[in-house]
Chains A and B, each alone.
Chain A
Amino acid sequence: MERAAVSGHDHGHEHGPGGGLGLAGPIALLVVLVGVAVAGTLAGDALDGPRLGAFATVFVSIVVQALPFLVLGVLLSAAIVAFVPRELAARALPRNRALAVPVAGAAGMALPGCECASVPVASGLMRKGVAPAAALTFLLAAPAVNPIVLAATWVAFPGRPEMTLGRLVASLAAAVAVGWLWTLLGRTEWIRLPGGGDADDGRPRWLVFRRAVAHDFLHAGGYLVVGGLLSAVINVALPPHWVDSLAEQAILGVLVLALLAVLMCICSEADAFVAASFTQFSPTAQLAFMVVGPMVDLKLIAMQVGTFGRAFAVRFVPVVLVVAILMSVLVGWVLL
């Protein structure tokens, strides 16, 4: 039975040797990085009002836009943890793990939430005993291929239905491929779930529920702020049109827009409009922007570090990035 370790319950308190430091390290690093980035951006001539103002507005807007989805996500996750019987969670997916992965990917199409909601929900599913491979596929697929996102893509690329189709196919393929890779190579000990508790230990369910909500929110929320800070720095620090000169190179163009998707942290419901604005780039590069963004961006990476631990994120994030780019290129080559 594949089941991720739950810290807090299984490994005692976080302030034991290793546990506390293991979290403090990356946090200290992130804080220093953000501090340096902010200081660098705001130093010198950049310390003018408009730039600082735009930075503050973009930073707050990313957090304000994400908070309701994060709250929804932690409510769902805590409800799964506290109220769904363990047997039901296990039975909802096919027992065959190779088959459970695509089913989880298809299930992602039904949850119209942004990526901020899917991180805590995936964590709740794992705590309930759902195989990590299936939960991770759900985590990747839900923000990328839900109906709202596909509709937005349809509107953003008028007269080009192949962009919406390409997004659906490439995103699902990437999510399922990562799930299968995890089934083959993944190790559960890489994942450290926040110890939000489980209803099966005899405590009142309501207490389990509200503790899990607060706990999950605090875990992911601080990291969401980190992602928002970094992304806002990028937004005001990059010179305008710096990418335009790279647009004509086929492969470099794909990589540049994929990198930009990671840095800009745009909600999956809005990223199609931004992708459409990169008119000088190839359709494949625009597709890569939309496939990578909902799966890997600074705010997601930060929240995954907070929710699943650093050991998980350093392995998961690069793999997802590579697979997402490969799938975009493949689908772009066939369809676009």
Chain B
Amino acid sequence: MSRALQAILLLSAAALLARLAVTGEYLYYVKPSMLPALVASALVLLALAVFAGRDAWAAAEEGPDCDHAGHGHGHGTPRAALLLALPLLTVLLIAPAPLGAFSAQRGSPPPPAPAPAGGFEPLPAGDPVEVTVSEFVRRATEGGGPTLAGRRVVMTGFATPNPDGGWWLTRMVIACCAADAYPARIAVRGADAPPADAWVALTGTWVEGTGSDDGLLIPAVAADAVEPIARPASPYQR
């Protein structure tokens, strides 16, 4: 593998990280806290690409023999390194979207974190009060129902058709990257299903008793209003 090709492959890896960092699309793939690591890696790879390009230039001027006799390490690079261009091509050609209804239907969430010692704090003041989908699920399933009862909440998520009928308000939760994502799901009552993957802000009230009664740990919300919204920049929740 020539040094010029090596430089291009290093550059494509740097370009992948730089593009995702600059466009903010990195949030489709990894946690927000990864941004500094992505930028630093892109800079290191860019520097490596520049050096490799300079070596290629120098080798071309000296003639091919010098490279063979002199250092020659470049020839050990496996052809699999060509695949380093593939992630960048995928991002440019397929333009992946954040994981949505397809993954939310398939995934199975771990049991939510148990109630904090001393029980759940009451929800903040406000009507409706803003909560995350996963926080709603956690309170409903882990004995925090009294803090939800009678409170109007507003939550953002995307619509996922329930294969058994009806629809869920869903949000993907990631621990590390999208490969380990699992869904937080709330069954919606009293509102027509938006198209799959449509992002909405849902205002409603917990249906008392749901979430811990069925073993599936999917609580239900009685919807007052379902408003379409734009997809948030950070599509996953912790």
A binds B: yes
Footprint of B on A, CB under 8 Å?
7-8, 13-15, 23-24, 27, 30-31, 50-54, 56-65, 67-68, 71-72, 75, 152, 155-156, 158-159, 194-197, 210-211, 213-215, 217-219, 221-223, 225-226, 228-229, 231-232, 235-236, 240-241, 264-267, 269-271, 273-274, 276-277, 279, 302, 306
Contact B30 A211 (CB under 8 A): no
Contact B87 A276 (CB under 8 A): no
- The minimal Cβ–Cβ distance linking A52 to chain B, given in whole angstroms, is 7
Contact B90 A56 (CB under 8 A): yes
Other than the given A8-B73, A65-B30, A218-B84, 12 more pairs (CB < 8 A) read A7-B76, A13-B76, A56-B96, A60-B90, A71-B45, A156-B110, A211-B73, A222-B83, A225-B86, A229-B86, A240-B106, A273-B182
Contact A57 B28 (CB under 8 A): yes
Contact B94 A56 (CB under 8 A): yes
Known: A23-B78, A59-B87, A68-B41. A266 touches B180 (CB 8 A): yes
Contact B110 A61 (CB under 8 A): no
Number of A-B contacts (CB under 8 A): 209
Return the 10 tightest CB-CB contacts between A and B, nearest first. A270-B176, A222-B80, A50-B102, A277-B110, A61-B178, A61-B29, A65-B177, A222-B81, A68-B37, A270-B175
Bound-state Cα–Cα, A235 to B182, Å: 12
Residue of B nearest to A63 (CB): B87
Tell me the B75-117 residues at the A interface (CB within 8 Å): 75-84, 86-87, 90-91, 94, 96-103, 105-111, 113-114
Contact B13 A52 (CB under 8 A): no
**Which of A64, A159, A213, A236 interacts with B177 by CB under 8 Å?**
A64
What is the 8 Å Cβ interface bit string for chain B, positions 16-54, against chain A (1 contact, 0 not)? 110010000010111000100110110011001001100
Contact A58 B179 (CB under 8 A): yes
Whether a CB of chain A sits under 8 angstroms from the CB of B169 is: no
Bound-state Cα–Cα, A116 to B37, Å: 14
